[in-house]
């Protein structure tokens, strides 16, 4: 990730989250603390009011009066921007596909969370519910999550499951709040699975601070968690095998798609991606984005779902 991308993520983190330590910023951005201090110096030189609070409970914060507000885009302009990621691809000769997708995701995150008319806009320029933040806006959610973390209070969140297409109540001890790859996430202990997981804030329809008290285990390390678990897709229940043509195999090899992914290079230059997922709505949309260059090998059910979706698309044309 470029320096400018890191600086933007730092500003957004400090603007919404508030007081944040150098260690937290370093672990989130995957750089060392010296680099964070250089970034802070760069922001100050650009007249962005980032200040330092010294002491045991210190960190960096930004003036409350400062607000980085993006220029207003209307629905059609944002749709056009999102659709450009489907056209400007490596296959079509555009070498900065991944950087474009990251940038557009960040822009989408800012707009979808600040404009009610855009809350159901997805990457294809259509409207759907599975990315809807719902009843609370982003600022309210982050404020409540920060309060819960500062008081050591467990959260009860109403969370949207893309695969099941429904809302479920989840009990979570929030350990940290991070802004990464254009979206906000809670990193915390999930009672149902008895492990630390990440929860995308845009999928939280509502949340409630409970009276239950928790303490972050001394063994927990955000850096270790991100190194071992951070990926585009997660899960461990259903085995999914996807075959990618030679045209896109380099792109697949260069990314981190699942914490426990397996890659198998075939003699013809194509590539098998093997991973285990709990739900596959997101991976289904992802696969369709590769068009003829990706094929589901298993499970059969997912293969049939994609086949039906392609047939439905064919009928429209």
What distance in Å separates the CA atoms of residue 237 and residue 276, rounded to the nearest whole number? Answer: 6
Q: What is the DSSP string of 168-236?
A: EEEEEEEEEEEEETTEEEEEEEETTTTEEEEEEGGGEEEEEEEEEE----TT--HHHHHHHH-SS---S
Angle separating helix axes 33-45 and 3-17, nearest 10 degrees: 80
Chain center to CA of 259: 15
Q: Per DSSP, which regions of the chain are E strands?
A: 50-53, 59-62, 153-161, 166-180, 183-190, 195-200, 204-213, 238-244, 262-265, 271-277, 294-298
Topology, domain 3-62: Arc Repressor Mutant, subunit A (1.10.10)
b/e map 273-298, b = 16+ CB within 10 Å: bbbbbebbbbbbbbbeebeebbebee
- Residue-wise pLDDT tens digits, 115-155: 444 444 444 444 333 444 444 577 788 889 989 998 899 99
Query: In DSSP terms, which residues pair with 199 in a beta bridge?
Result: 186
What distance in Å separates the CA atoms of residue 204 and residue 172, rounded to the nearest whole number? Answer: 12
- Just give the CATH number of 138-229: 2.30.30
- At 314, list the tokens: 């064919």
* Predicted pLDDT of residue 127: 36
| CATH 3.30.70 corresponds to the domain 238-316 | yes
- Name the phi and psi angles at 14, rounded to 5: -70, -35
Query: In DSSP terms, which residues pair with 206 in a beta bridge?
Result: 158
Measured CA distances, 107 to 91, 111, 249, 286 (Å): 24, 6, 28, 19
In the three-class reduction of DSSP (H, G, I as helix; E, B as strand; rest coil), residue 24 is classed as: helix
Tens of pLDDT, residue by residue, the chain (317 residues) = 578 778 888 888 888 788 899 998 988 888 889 999 999 999 988 888 899 988 888 899 888 777 665 556 665 666 666 666 666 666 555 666 777 777 766 666 555 444 444 444 444 444 333 444 444 577 788 889 989 998 899 999 998 865 555 678 899 999 999 887 667 889 999 999 899 988 888 888 889 999 999 999 999 998 888 877 776 666 667 889 999 998 888 888 877 788 778 899 999 999 999 988 877 777 887 888 888 899 999 989 989 988 988 888 888 77
Domains of the chain by residue range:
3-62, 75-118, 138-229, 238-316
Identical topology for domains 3-62 and 238-316: no
* Predicted pLDDT of residue 72: 60
What distance in Å separates the CA atoms of residue 21 and residue 53, rounded to the nearest whole number? Answer: 9
* Predicted pLDDT of residue 288: 84
- At 239, list the tokens: 């085995």
- At 144, list the tokens: 């409540």
* Predicted pLDDT of residue 270: 93
* Predicted pLDDT of residue 117: 46
Contact 131, 203 (CB under 8 A): yes
* DSSP3 helix / strand / coil % (the chain, rounded to 5): 40, 25, 30
What distance in Å separates the CA atoms of residue 65 and residue 59, rounded to the nearest whole number? Answer: 18
* Predicted pLDDT of residue 202: 82
pTM score, whole prediction: 0.52
- At 183, list the tokens: 């979206």
What distance in Å separates the CA atoms of residue 282 and residue 305, rounded to the nearest whole number? Answer: 13
């Amino acid at each position: 990730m470029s320096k400018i991308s890191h600086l933007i993520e730092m500003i957004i983190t400090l603007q919404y989250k508030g007081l944040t330590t150098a260690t937290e910023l370093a672990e989130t951005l995957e750089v060392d603390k010296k680099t964070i201090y250089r970034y802070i110096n760069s922001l100050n030189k650009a007249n962005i009011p980032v200040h330092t609070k010294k002491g045991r409970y210190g960190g960096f914060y930004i003036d409350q009066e400062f607000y980085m507000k993006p220029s207003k885009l209307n629905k059609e302009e944002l749709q056009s921007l999102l659709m450009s990621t489907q056209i400007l691809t490596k296959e079509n000769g555009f070498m900065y596909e991944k950087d474009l997708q990251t940038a557009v995701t960040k822009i989408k995150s800012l707009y979808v969370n600040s404009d009610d008319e855009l809350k159901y806009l997805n990457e294809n320029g259509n409207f759907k519910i599975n990315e809807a933040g719902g009843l609370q806006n982003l600022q309210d959610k982050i404020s409540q999550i920060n309060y819960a973390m500062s008081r050591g209070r467990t959260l009860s969140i109403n969370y949207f499951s893309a695969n099941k297409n429904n809302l479920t109540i989840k009990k979570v001890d929030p350990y940290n709040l991070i802004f990464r790859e254009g979206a906000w996430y809670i990193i915390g202990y999930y009672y149902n699975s008895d492990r630390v997981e990440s929860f995308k804030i845009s999928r939280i329809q509502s949340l409630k601070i409970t009276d239950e008290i928790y303490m972050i285990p001394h063994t927990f390390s955000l850096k270790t968690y991100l190194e071992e678990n951070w990926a585009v897709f997660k899960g461990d229940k259903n085995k999914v095998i996807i075959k990618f043509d030679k045209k896109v195999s380099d792109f697949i090899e260069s990314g981190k798609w699942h914490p426990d992914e397996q890659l198998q290079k075939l003699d013809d230059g194509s590539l098998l991606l093997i991973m285990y997922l709990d739900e596959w709505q997101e991976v289904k949309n992802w696969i369709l984005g590769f068009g003829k260059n990706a094929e589901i090998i298993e499970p059969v059910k997912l293969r049939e779902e994609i086949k039906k979706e392609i047939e439905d698309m064919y009928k429209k044309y």
